Amino acid sequence: MQAKNRLLADEGQIFVRMLLVAVVTTAVLFIRRPDQFLHPYIWNEDGKFNLSAFIEHDWWSVFYPVRGYLILVPKLIINSAYNLSVFHAPAVASFLNLIFTILVIEAIVFCPTALRFRWLCAAYVLLIPTDPEEFGVSLYTLWWSGLLLVLTLVWERSEQKLGLRLLFVGLGGLSSPVIFPVAALLGLRAATMKLRADRIIAAAAVGVVAVQAWAMLGGFRLSQPEVWKLPLGKIVGKYLGYFVAPGLQQEPVIIIVGLLVAPVLVLLVVWHRTRLPQQFWLLLGALVGITLVTVMRAPLDIIHPVTAGPRYFFFQFIILAWLLFLVAANAGRAVSVPIFCVLAFSIVQALPNMRHFHEALDWPTELRNCAASDSYQLPIHYDGSWQKLTHVMLTGNQCQQLIGKSLF
């Protein structure tokens, strides 16, 4: 009887903690992207590509690549929104995005991984010191999906929850190109840890890679395909510099800061290497691999954590923070206190740029105007301003088809 009561008490505590995570996540997302709650709208490829694809191919459009690769989770969210209630699609998509984001944060906190200070790991994700471009928008759940792959990589050395890990590989791998470096690392993990579950996960990742590679044929473009030509010093300097001081605008200064920070981090890792778990090195490999994929795809000279493409810093900042938490957990106070101070400083320094607002547009009215026209330039948000609105050309018949597909 006592054991049963203790089990019920434990389950009650877990439920309260999960509820707390959900409430805090919702509150932070509202603070960082309030207009996506108050005036939700359709953004970027969800309007430019996914809308037309859904009209023409219905749910089969899930299997159509966007920008050269599959984005399963974003397509499931936006297609569900268009199908459930097209006139309220922005609000439905925003709600589904919130649910998915909460689930990812719950996974960071409660999944059995080698991460240390898991509550702080989750908090850093929510407070990541960049413009919140990837918050609150269904299209950018592809970045949150990628975090599921990273969690699978740093799972504890055990056979437990194999089904959940397989789900993470499927959702993350079919939604993000970071499956390529992560799959290689999952293979390395399987070879070194020699667990049956890891071999199954690695095999599943290879299968997902094959699907993504097939989808990418003929559609994926790299801005810098020659890895050996990448400016490695600039990459290290820029990512580490902005990680420490994301609000700075002077790129030469930020690169110098990053290059000064790099040897300090190397010394920290070398000094404490014998205490660090194997998952630390896999996480470090993920940082290197994902960064190479990022800078081969995105223009390194342009991206900035606040003003241009902040999403291209999402994985790097999060993985760097998680690596530092692992070091802090295995080092003394003389090391852990400065680490926490640096992370706190970067967040505080970025506070003026950590919220995103957008101009309110009336989606139902725009859709009705489209349905009543021969052809119509449907406005789609790009960065939230009137000046940078993009448009998708639809015929009245297409808008009528879209309305006809909607359940409500």
- Tell me what the mean pLDDT of segment 72-89 comes to: 96
The two structure tokens encoding residue 106 = 């719950």
- Tell me what the mean pLDDT of segment 87-110 comes to: 97
Report how far residue 264's alpha carbon sits from residue 276's, in angstroms, rounded to the nearest whole number: 17
What is each CA distance from 193 to 152, 156, 186, 202, 205, in whole angstroms?
14, 11, 10, 12, 16
More confident residue, 281 or 268: 281
Report how far residue 319's alpha carbon sits from residue 286's, in angstroms, rounded to the nearest whole number: 8
- Please determine, for residue 308, whether its predicted confidence score (pLDDT) is greater than 90: no
- Please determine, for residue 56, whether its predicted confidence score (pLDDT) is greater than 90: yes
Give the model's pLDDT for residue 155: 96
pTM of the predicted model as reported, rounded to 2 decimal places = 0.94
Give per-residue pLDDT as tens, 247-267. 877 888 889 989 998 998 998
* % of the chain surpassing 90 pLDDT: 75
Give the model's pLDDT for residue 134: 93
- Tell me what the mean pLDDT of segment 298-313 comes to: 89
Give the model's pLDDT for residue 351: 92
- Tell me what the mean pLDDT of segment 214-235 comes to: 73
Give per-residue pLDDT as tens, 14-24. 899 999 999 99
pLDDT band, residue 301 (cuts 50/70/90): confident
Residue 249: count of CB within 10 angstroms of its CB? 9
- Please determine, for residue 228, whether its predicted confidence score (pLDDT) is greater than 70: no
Give per-residue pLDDT as tens, 126-143. 999 999 999 999 999 999
Give the model's pLDDT for residue 146: 96
Q: Where are the domains of the chain?
A: 2-216
Give the model's pLDDT for residue 9: 61
- Please determine, for residue 227, whether its predicted confidence score (pLDDT) is greater than 70: no
What is each CA distance from 253 to 128, 258, 265, in whole angstroms?
21, 9, 19
Give the model's pLDDT for residue 8: 59
Give per-residue pLDDT as tens, 185-223. 999 999 999 999 999 999 999 999 999 999 888 666 666
* 3-class SS letters over 260-314: HHHHHHHHHHHHCHHHCCHHHHHHHHHHHHHHHHHHHHCCCCCCECCCECHHHHH
Q: How many CA atoms lie within 13 A of 240 on its CB side?
A: 21
Give the model's pLDDT for residue 1: 58
Give the model's pLDDT for residue 272: 83
pLDDT band, residue 333 (cuts 50/70/90): confident
- Please determine, for residue 5, whether its predicted confidence score (pLDDT) is greater than 60: no
Report how far residue 239's alpha carbon sits from residue 254's, in angstroms, rounded to the nearest whole number: 9
Residue 41 zone, left/alpha/beta (φ > 0; ψ -120 to 50; rest)? beta
Report how far residue 403's alpha carbon sits from residue 158's, in angstroms, rounded to the nearest whole number: 49
Report how far residue 90's alpha carbon sits from residue 272's, in angstroms, rounded to the nearest whole number: 48
Give the model's pLDDT for residue 307: 86
